[in-house]
Amino acid sequence: MVKKILIIEDDPATSRLVDYSLKHEGYQVFTASNGLDGIRQALEVTLDLIILDVMLPGMDGFEICHRLRSDSKTEDLPILMFSAKAQDIDRSTGLLVGADEYLTKPASPSDIVACVQTLLKKKSHSVIHKEKMSGKR
């Protein structure tokens, strides 16, 4: 089954680069240029992962991540924060509000894809583990 990824990014060039890199690897990609649209899509579409910028118009990525973690529909969805904010405090804040990984810009397309693949693999193992623990498997 094709994995669905949402990119929440306001910079068109970055969004296109990530979109192209992921589509080239066979992923189905959705995009949002602001937090409200991103949250709406995350709640409407069954996604496998979100790539989230920190510096966005209106609502920053930290707040978006916190809101996604607070909703039962998206609480377990892997979130990769992808930001130019490269200080330790930014990374710590991102992980504290619920991001699974924090990748700083600029990053090569291969680094982005590798990070996405790692997070999806972790999610898959987590789902299998939960199914085994609940006796569904």
Q: Are 28 and 5 in contact (CB under 8 A)?
A: yes
- Residue 50 backbone class (left: φ over 0; alpha: ψ -120 to 50; beta: rest): beta
Specify the pLDDT at position 124: 72
pTM over 0.85: yes
Q: How far apart are CA 96 and CA 6, in angstroms?
A: 21
Place 1 in a pLDDT band, splitting at 50, 70 and 90. confident
> Which domains does the chain possess?
4-134 (3.40.50.2300)
Share of residues in the chain with pLDDT > 90 (%) = 80
Specify the pLDDT at position 123: 77
